[in-house]
C-alpha cells in the first residue's frame, strides 16, 4: 500500500494532501443535497446548480485518493438518487466515476489554483451530464435531454460558482 503512495508522489512532488474532519466530510454533502432539494422551490434557476457534484469534485480532488473519491461520489450520488424519481444508481454510478476521475486528475493538476478549479468543475459537470445521459439511454431507456449548448452554459455557471465555493470549503481544512 505504501508503494501506491510512492507511485502518486512520483508523479507530483508538490502534491499536498488536505485533511478534513469526518463531520465536515459528512455535513457538507448533506447540506449540498438539502440545498438542491430545497432552494429550487423558490429560486428555480438554482436547480441547475449541481452542488453535490461540486462537493464530490472538491473533496475527491483535495484528498487526492481515487478510492476515497469514488466511494465518496457513490455515497453522494445514491443519496441524490434516493430523493429523485430515478431508479437508485443513476447518480450513484455517475458520481462514482466523477469521484474517481477527480481524484486521479488532481494528481496531475494543481487543485488549489482557481483556474484549474474552474476547469475541473466545468469539465466534470459536462462529464456528469454526458454520463448521466448515456446511462439514461443505455440502461433504463429514459433519454434525458442533453442540449450541448445548454450543458456548456450550465457547466460554465457551475464552474463559476465552484471557484468561490471551493475557496469557502478550503476554510474547513483541518490544518
Partner 1 sequence: MELLTHRYRTLTILALVIAGQLLLLGYQVRTQGDVRLVRVWAVTAVTPVARLLETARRDVSTALDTYVFLAGAQKENRLLKRQLGELKFEVRRLRRELARADRAEALKLFIERSPSKMVAARVIGAGTGADSKVVFIDRGTRDGVKKGMAVVTPEGIAGRVAAAYPTASRVVLVTDPSFAAGVVSARTHVQGTLKGMGGRACRVDYVQNEQHVEEGEWFYTSGDDRVFPRGLPVGPVKVSREGKLLREILVEPAGLQAGMEEVLVILEGVHQPVPAPAADEPEFELLPPPDTLTTMAEPGAARPTPVLTDADRLLETYRRIGQAQGHVYGEGRPGSPPPDFNWEPGPAPRKRSPSGGGHE
Partner 2 sequence: MEFEGPAPQNLLKPLPQRDGTRFAAGRIAVFQYLIAGVFLFLLSGFWELQVRNPAFYSERAERNRIKALPILAPRGRILDRDGRVMVDNQASFSLALSREKLEQRQLRALAAGLGLDFDELVLRVRRFDRTHPKYEPVIVKEELTPSELAFIEAHRGDPRYPDMELINAHRRLYPRGGVAAHLLGYIGEISEAELNLLEFVDREPGDVIGKSGVERQYDTLLTGIDGERRVVVDSVGREREVIGVKEAVPGRDLRLTIDLDLQVVAELAMNGRRGAVVALDPRTGEVLAMVSRPAFDPNRFAGRIRSKEWRALVGDPEKPLLNRAIQAQLAPGSTFKPIVALAGLELGVITPDFRVTCNGGASFYGRYFRCHLSRGHGPVSLYRALADSCDVYFYTVGNRLGIDNIARYAEMVGFGRKTGIDLPGEAPGLVPSTRWKLRTFRQKWYAGETISVAIGQGALTVTPLQLAYAIGGLAMGGVWYPPHVALNAGRRPEPRRAALDPAHTEAIADALWAVVNDGGTGLRARLPGIEVCGKTGTSQLASVRAIHNRKLAGKLKDNAWFVGFAPKRNPEIVVAALFEGGEHGHLAAPIVRDVIKAYFDKKERRRNNERIARLRTAAPFRR
Q: At closest approach, how far in Å is the CB of 73 from partner 1?
A: 9
* Residue 76: closest CA among 63, 64, 60: 60
Cell numbers representing residue 92 in the block: 450513484
**Binding at 80: pick from partner 1, partner 2, none (beta carbon under 5-8 Å per type):** partner 1
* Beta carbon nearer to partner 1, 47 or 114: 47
Q: Contact at 8 Å (CB) between 79 and 33?
A: yes
Q: Contact at 8 Å (CB) between 24 and 59?
A: no
Q: List beta partners, residue 173.
A: 20
**Binding at 42: pick from partner 2, partner 1, none (beta carbon under 5-8 Å per type):** partner 1
Binding of residue 96 to partner 1 (CB under 8 A): yes
Q: At closest approach, how far in Å is the CB of 70 from partner 1?
A: 5
Exactly one of 10, 43, 171, 174 binds partner 2 (CB under 8 A); which one? Answer: 10
Footprint of partner 2 on 122-141 (CB under 8 A): 138-141
Reduced to 3 states (helix: H, G, I; strand: E, B; else coil), residue 22 is: helix
Cell numbers representing residue 131 in the block: 454520463
> How far lies 46's CA from each of 72, 99, 102, 124, in Å?
24, 23, 24, 18
Q: Contact at 8 Å (CB) between 18 and 173?
A: yes
Q: At closest approach, how far in Å is the CB of 22 from partner 1?
A: 17
Q: Which residues bind partner 2 (CB under 8 A)?
A: 1-2, 4-11, 13, 15, 17, 22-23, 25-26, 63-65, 67-69, 71-72, 74-75, 78-79, 82, 87, 97, 100-101, 104, 107-108, 138-143
Amino acid at each position: 500500500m505504501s508503494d501506491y503512495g510512492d507511485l502518486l508522489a512520483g508523479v507530483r512532488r508538490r502534491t499536498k494532501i488536505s485533511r478534513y474532519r469526518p463531520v465536515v466530510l459528512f455535513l457538507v454533502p448533506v447540506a449540498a443535497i438539502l440545498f438542491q432539494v430545497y432552494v429550487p422551490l423558490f429560486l428555480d434557476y438554482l436547480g441547475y446548480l449541481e452542488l453535490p457534484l461540486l462537493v464530490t469534485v472538491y473533496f475527491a480532488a483535495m484528498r487526492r485518493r481515487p478510492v476515497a473519491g469514488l466511494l465518496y461520489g457513490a455515497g453522494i450520488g445514491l443519496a441524490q438518487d434516493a430523493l429523485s424519481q430515478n431508479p437508485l444508481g443513476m447518480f450513484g454510478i455517475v458520481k462514482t466515476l466523477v469521484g474517481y476521475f477527480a481524484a486521479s486528475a488532481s494528481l496531475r493538476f494543481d487543485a488549489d489554483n482557481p483556474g484549474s478549479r474552474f476547469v475541473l468543475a466545468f469539465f466534470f459537470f459536462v462529464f456528469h451530464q454526458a454520463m448521466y445521459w448515456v446511462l439514461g439511454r443505455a440502461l433504463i431507456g429514459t433519454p434525458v435531454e442533453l442540449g450541448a449548448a445548454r450543458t456548456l452554459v450550465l457547466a460554465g455557471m457551475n464552474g463559476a460558482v465552484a471557484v468561490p465555493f471551493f475557496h469557502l470549503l478550503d476554510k474547513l481544512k483541518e490544518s
